[in-house]
Amino acid sequence: MKKGIYLLFLIVKEKISIKVGSLGTITFSKGLYVYIGSAQNNLEKRIDRHLKKDKKIFWHIDYITTNPHTEIISVMYLENASKRLESTIACNLSKKFSKIKNFGATDDKTCNSHFFKLI
Q: Per-residue pLDDT tens for 16-28?
A: 999 999 999 999 9
Number of domains in the chain: 1
* pLDDT classification of 108: cutoffs 50, 70, 90: confident
pLDDT tens column, 92-103? 999 999 999 999
High-pLDDT (> 90) share of the chain, %: 95
90: left (phi over 0), alpha (psi -120 to 50) or beta: alpha
Which of 42-46, 71-75, 96-100, 108-112 has the least mean pLDDT? 108-112
Q: What is the pTM for the complete model shown?
A: 0.94
| Backbone dihedral angles phi then psi of residue 46, each to the nearest 5 degrees | -65, -45
